[in-house]
Amino acid sequence: MAVDRHNSVVVDSAGVAFEDHGRSAEFPWHEIRSVHYKAGPNGKTLMMAVIHLDGRFYECVVDAKSRDLLGTWFAQLAPVLGYYRPLG
């Protein structure tokens, strides 16, 4: 889970969920083609994208308070995504 004042990303056994300024979207694993994430240009932002099976693209951006926190989020994301989405 990555959370800031306005947005959040949750990756768990059910799939991926985004909240962006009060609007939420949930993506069950069976509807996800792939999940991608990277650091934003400032080095303190998690940028995550979900590609739906039909090709639609959804993105959520969460600001970390520090680069260390972003590193922690990345360290937690890698094994969780590897477990639930071993092929991408």
Count, residues in the chain = 88
Residue with tokens 């989405």, as numbered in its chain? 85
Compute how many other C-beta atoms are within 10 angstroms of the C-beta atom of residue 3: 14
Q: What is the pLDDT of residue 67?
A: 94
Tokens of 16: 């991926």
pTM beyond cutoff 0.85: yes
Which pLDDT score is estimated for 38?
Answer: 96
Is the pLDDT at 88 greater than 70, yes or no?
no
Sequential DSSP letters for 21-61: TTEEEEEEGGGEEEEEEEE-TTSSEEEEEEEETTS-EEEEE
Decide the pairing of beta strands 15-20 and 32-39: unpaired
pLDDT tens figures, 2-61: 999 999 999 999 999 999 999 999 999 999 999 999 999 999 999 999 999 999 999 999
**pLDDT of 86 over the 80 cut:** no
